[in-house]
Structure 1
Amino acid sequence: MKKSFFFRNALCYVILGFVLAAGAGCKKNHNNNPSSGSNNISEEDSLKYYIYHYMLVAFDDQAMAYYHDSLPLYLWYRQVPTSTINPFDDVKYPKAEDLLNTIISYPINPQTGGKIDRYSFLDRQGAVSGLIQGGVTGDMGFQPAYAYDNNNQLHLVVLYVYKNSSAGQQGVQRGWEITAINGNTNISDNNLVINALYNSPSAQFTFKKPDGSSVTLTIQSTQYQVNPVLFDTVYTLSNGKKVGYFVFNQFVSIYDSNNQPTETKNELDAVFKMFADSGVTTVIMDERYNGGGAVQTAEYIDNKLAPAAANGKAMYSYVYNDRLTAHATDLQLPITINYQNTGSFNLEHVFFIVSHNTVSASELTINNLKPYMDVQLVGDTTYGKPVGFFGWPIQYDSAGQQIHAADLYSVNFQTKNAAGYGDYFTGMVPNKLEYDYIGYNWGDPNDPNLQDVFNYLTTGSYRTTSTARLASQAQQYRVIQGSLPLKRFEGMVDYRAAGLFKPYLR
């Protein structure tokens, strides 16, 4: 095994006598904890070291020695001036997040001249893997946002609810307005809302329902199984066309870490069976608030929606940095993913309802289908994230006990569809721009976004007067984008890829 010796000073970034043993095959079994070395390196410094080394030097020293080449994980490592970064500079980088934020501040988007990496982050709690791989999260289970009525008066309205959560179990619905929190009616106070939602074990919310009645509920922050299919149905239009519609809110993996089908797969299978039994010729996938998740789930959905002619052809390809690209085959990294078992439906169109909160794996699902079928977007411009993560655990041994420090989500790859397109860093522009009015519950055929699709399917074109028509309806609330943070994972992650790295020199 290759040993890397580092001296802590301004010129070298090092730990004396530290042996980096990033276990073969991506098993992070570090035989020595830098925090226990002779230089008394802290656990925080250990974490900073691993971030620096994995992103900018090598994911595995054995593999690096084998190839006589550096093997950094970070997609844009070449744009980072490593000689100016000392990961042990506690003044510049008191926390590991400070170092990470410095590293990701350097890569520039050549299209815009601005910072390109607004995605990489550190997960110290392992919450992302728990959600995406296990389908489990912990919160109150509903997400509100601020919205304006037709008189530009401010309201706080529920965007979505997970049925297994405390809010879902008590019947909270999309479109309910929050009029008081713990008895306080000053709902325009952001701190009041955020503290109640994200920083409290429980809180009391007063809701006004669409029928004008009110209810006060005590909602608790609990652990629950996420059900990403929030709604599904089949519509029959005036011209007899059958349209399948479903709301998908998070790309939870279809298989867990033991390769067993998850509840997400069961839900998707039930939806697609209903569509098949109903003979749908159009599918609408509502991804308005979907922050992404597992690429395998995106692949699964695309295989269901794609035409038979796509079978065996390229779905999308991975783009890595030059070092990983040079050794991708030997490392067994995925390069091109092909369609398989397509043709479940003979679709004339597939529509996606999107917004600026449509991120990453959601966008991947759309981009993959575009070379093979008519894909239409209704709503607002998407977030713009054609890159993803391996989800890299940082672990080491201390006195015979394995310590899980954090999971590193640094950008490791970009994706491109079969036509070679994948540079939507500024988002995907919809075919029909439409506001997100949240006075309607899921599936209500009067939802303006659904009305746009229905009009297209019955007349061949989108409406041009919908906004003016809806402005007269006082009960409608138009979402203010970004008015509250959405508590969710944003990105696409391929845990499978990290597990495929080939072991070396065992």
Structure 2
Amino acid sequence: MKRSFFSRNVLSSLLLGLILAAGAGCKKNHNNNPPTSNTISEEDSLKYYIYHYMLVTFDDGAMAYYHDSLPLYLWYHQVPTSTINPFDDTKYPKGEDLLNAIISYPINPQTGKAIDRYSFLDRQGAVSGLIQGGITGDMGFQPAYAYDNNNQLHLVVLYVYKNSSAGQQGVQRGWEITAINGNTNISDQNLVVNALYNSQSAQFTFKKRDGSSVTLTIQATQYQVNPVLFDTVYTLSNGKKVGYFVFNQFIDIYDSNNNPTETKNELDAVFQKFKDSAVSSIVIDERYNGGGAVSTAEYIDNTLAPASANGKIMYTYVYNDRLTAHASDLQLPININFQNTGSFNLEHVFFIVSRNTVSASELTINNLKPYMDVQLVGDTTYGKPVGFFGWPIEYDSAGTQKHVADLYSVNFQTKNATGYGDYFTGMVPNKLEYDYIGYNWGDPNDPNLQDVFNYLTTGNYRTTSAARLASQPQQYRVIQGSLPLKRFEGMVNYRAAGMFKPYLR
């Protein structure tokens, strides 16, 4: 793909001409006066590219050829560009400030509120490293605050990655954190956040489900993420076989060299296990899945969909009007069809979801709904039917090519075969259920699994929660949003960005 790389001096001399040309192409008035070559900073350059790529064009040569602006941002037409000067350091001292100003303008007509709560800037390139390579760096576990049946506050582990420092030391979902670095005031959110996200090492005291305690020193390390946290096959009282697995991140199934990733290997092993067991239904637990690569969503859907879906539309891409007009020439994907379906002949597919089920997770669900019985158990999902290309911003700085940031601005919306894709406020479950984290993954007493089993044996979901409310106090009920989840939230199509073909040869 063609990128624009300018030295600092060249950039400063071109900025005014480019902005004025962009104004003519967009038929909008721009009064932005760029800084001189003596005052331009790298941050000013970053802000310029954010503005230019999102609201003007992804490539100046392509815009000249098509005689049309080619902005990447899905909602560019709602942004009053004449009021935005990307070089106004008072309003926008950092690139993030400019980005947040831009995304504040598009409004969701259904709610009357700002629609873009998704776009962001990744200065470290951590997202591409995670989604494309499966590599991340942290302590490897995520806690959340929860109430017990007596409404007492607890800090409990949501999930753990087995290859991380926490996973290697045996930390499990449902363990309660009773002290951090010897401090038992776990209600102090700053204490928790600083230990988890701002420290290279911290000491945690855990209370296990059997009541015993252990104190572990956990390090922030680089490790390979294993997104399949658990899998098993259940045999119900009526003899039905049910496959269950926990999927926590849509890491790409192929790396940048087109080699199968560990994620693909794990998914293949799980699906083969389910085939060998002749399961009639599959349960995918996506409670904390923030999304990731659309290619992985497609892979899962192709595996689960019935043979009758083969060759039919899985989902479609919706771009802004300028990209849509030139989508064919730019080789942008429009319709994605099912391929090689029929691996299973499933009666139902269940998804266990929550407010932390985001984007590619929701895409996987939405794609299947027109073709098979899809049931949701849990809480309403996050609501993100839009995604990113993952656009790198690079330029020459003092003679050295430099990667400055990856721009994740909303570039497309997805819709399923029936044309539905407006779940901006989330997908409502068929059976509302609390997220109780006192149970480890796969525990058949987990109320979410109990709901699924009841449906498969009686044809109905449970109508009362009296039994679980009267049960043991370790049924910690998650307080949604009580702690930030440090993870990528969205869906990204790096392949599409690589397929752009500007008219520069």
Q: TM-score surpassing 0.5?
A: yes
Q: Please report how far the alpha carbon of residue 475 of structure 1 lies from its aligned counterpart in structure 2 after TM superposition.
A: 1.9
Aligned mates of 2:255, 2:231 — CA distance in 1 = 24
Q: How does 1:254-333 map to 2 (within 5 A)?
A: 254-333=253-332
Q: Please report how far the alpha carbon of residue 261 of structure 1 lies from its aligned counterpart in structure 2 after TM superposition.
A: 0.6
Q: Please report how far the alpha carbon of residue 253 of structure 1 lies from its aligned counterpart in structure 2 after TM superposition.
A: 0.4
> Which residue identity lines up with residue 358 of structure 2 in the other structure?
V
Cross-structure match for 2:333: 334
Cross-structure match for 2:13: 16
| Partner deviation per Cα, 1:302-334 (whole Å, 9 max, x = no partner) | 000000000000000000000000000000000
Cross-structure match for 2:198: 199
Contact 1:141/1:168 (8 A) holds in 2: yes
Contact 2:35/2:87 (8 A) holds in 1: no
Cross-structure match for 2:63: 64
> Which residue identity lines up with residue 269 of structure 2 in the other structure?
A
Q: Secondary structure of the equivalent of 1:133?
A: helix
Contact 1:17/1:37 (8 A) holds in 2: no
Q: CA RMSD in A?
A: 1.9
| Partner deviation per Cα, 1:189-209 (whole Å, 9 max, x = no partner) | 000000000000000000000
Q: Please report how far the alpha carbon of residue 472 of structure 1 lies from its aligned counterpart in structure 2 after TM superposition.
A: 3.7
Aligned mates of 1:128, 1:467 — CA distance in 2 = 43
Q: Secondary structure of the equivalent of 2:301?
A: helix
Cross-structure match for 2:500: 501
Q: Please report how far the alpha carbon of residue 397 of structure 1 lies from its aligned counterpart in structure 2 after TM superposition.
A: 1.7
> Which residue identity lines up with residue 128 of structure 1 in the other structure?
V
Aligned mates of 1:87, 1:346 — CA distance in 2 = 55
Q: Please report how far the alpha carbon of residue 160 of structure 1 lies from its aligned counterpart in structure 2 after TM superposition.
A: 0.2
Q: Please report how far the alpha carbon of residue 400 of structure 1 lies from its aligned counterpart in structure 2 after TM superposition.
A: 3.9
Aligned mates of 1:437, 1:346 — CA distance in 2 = 31
Q: Please report how far the alpha carbon of residue 402 of structure 1 lies from its aligned counterpart in structure 2 after TM superposition.
A: 1.1
Aligned mates of 1:273, 1:345 — CA distance in 2 = 10
Aligned mates of 1:292, 1:132 — CA distance in 2 = 9
Contact 2:92/2:98 (8 A) holds in 1: yes
Cross-structure match for 1:353: 352
Q: How does 1:208-223 map to 2 (within 5 A)?
A: 208-223=207-222
Relative to structure 1, the CA distance from residue 405 to residue 216 in structure 2 (aligned partners, 3 Å threshold; closer, same or farther) is same
Q: Please report how far the alpha carbon of residue 398 of structure 1 lies from its aligned counterpart in structure 2 after TM superposition.
A: 2.9
Q: Secondary structure of the equivalent of 2:13?
A: coil
Relative to structure 1, the CA distance from residue 393 to residue 4 in structure 2 (aligned partners, 3 Å threshold; closer, same or farther) is closer
Relative to structure 1, the CA distance from residue 471 to residue 94 in structure 2 (aligned partners, 3 Å threshold; closer, same or farther) is farther
Cross-structure match for 2:186: 187
Contact 2:379/2:433 (8 A) holds in 1: yes
What percent of counterpart residues are identical?
A: 88
Contact 2:305/2:342 (8 A) holds in 1: yes
Aligned mates of 2:466, 2:192 — CA distance in 1 = 29
Aligned mates of 1:349, 1:93 — CA distance in 2 = 50
TM-score (norm 1): 0.93
Aligned mates of 1:277, 1:395 — CA distance in 2 = 49
Q: Does 1:457 align with 2:456?
A: yes
Q: Between Structure 1 and Structure 2, how many residues are aligned? A: 485
Runs of 4+ in 1 over 6 A off after TM superposition: none
Aligned mates of 2:339, 2:139 — CA distance in 1 = 38
Q: Does 1:86 align with 2:85?
A: yes
Q: Does 1:111 align with 2:110?
A: yes
| Partner deviation per Cα, 1:245-302 (whole Å, 9 max, x = no partner) | 0000000000111111100000000000000111011000000000000000000000
> Which residue identity lines up with residue 64 of structure 2 in the other structure?
A
Cross-structure match for 1:177: 176
Aligned mates of 1:118, 1:276 — CA distance in 2 = 40
Gaps of 5+ in 2: 19-33
Cross-structure match for 1:481: 480
Q: How does 1:325-404 map to 2 (within 5 A)?
A: 325-404=324-403
Aligned mates of 2:352, 2:364 — CA distance in 1 = 12
Relative to structure 1, the CA distance from residue 400 to residue 467 in structure 2 (aligned partners, 3 Å threshold; closer, same or farther) is farther
> Which residue identity lines up with residue 212 of structure 2 in the other structure?
S
> Which residue identity lines up with residue 487 of structure 1 in the other structure?
K
Q: Please report how far the alpha carbon of residue 37 of structure 1 lies from its aligned counterpart in structure 2 after TM superposition.
A: 6.8
Contact 2:332/2:496 (8 A) holds in 1: yes
Aligned mates of 1:267, 1:364 — CA distance in 2 = 20
Q: Please report how far the alpha carbon of residue 36 of structure 1 lies from its aligned counterpart in structure 2 after TM superposition.
A: 11
Contact 2:12/2:35 (8 A) holds in 1: no
Aligned mates of 1:413, 1:351 — CA distance in 2 = 27
Aligned mates of 1:39, 1:428 — CA distance in 2 = 52
Q: Please report how far the alpha carbon of residue 465 of structure 1 lies from its aligned counterpart in structure 2 after TM superposition.
A: 1.1
Q: Secondary structure of the equivalent of 2:229?
A: strand
Aligned mates of 1:130, 1:467 — CA distance in 2 = 45
Cross-structure match for 2:40: 41
Q: How does 1:159-178 map to 2 (within 5 A)?
A: 159-178=158-177
Q: Does 1:235 align with 2:237?
A: no
Contact 1:163/1:227 (8 A) holds in 2: yes
Aligned mates of 2:389, 2:163 — CA distance in 1 = 29
Cross-structure match for 1:490: 489
Cross-structure match for 1:30: none
Aligned mates of 1:304, 1:406 — CA distance in 2 = 35
> Which residue identity lines up with residue 16 of structure 1 in the other structure?
S
Aligned mates of 1:90, 1:242 — CA distance in 2 = 62
Aligned mates of 1:391, 1:187 — CA distance in 2 = 37
Contact 1:178/1:207 (8 A) holds in 2: yes
Aligned mates of 1:332, 1:213 — CA distance in 2 = 59
Contact 1:36/1:398 (8 A) holds in 2: no
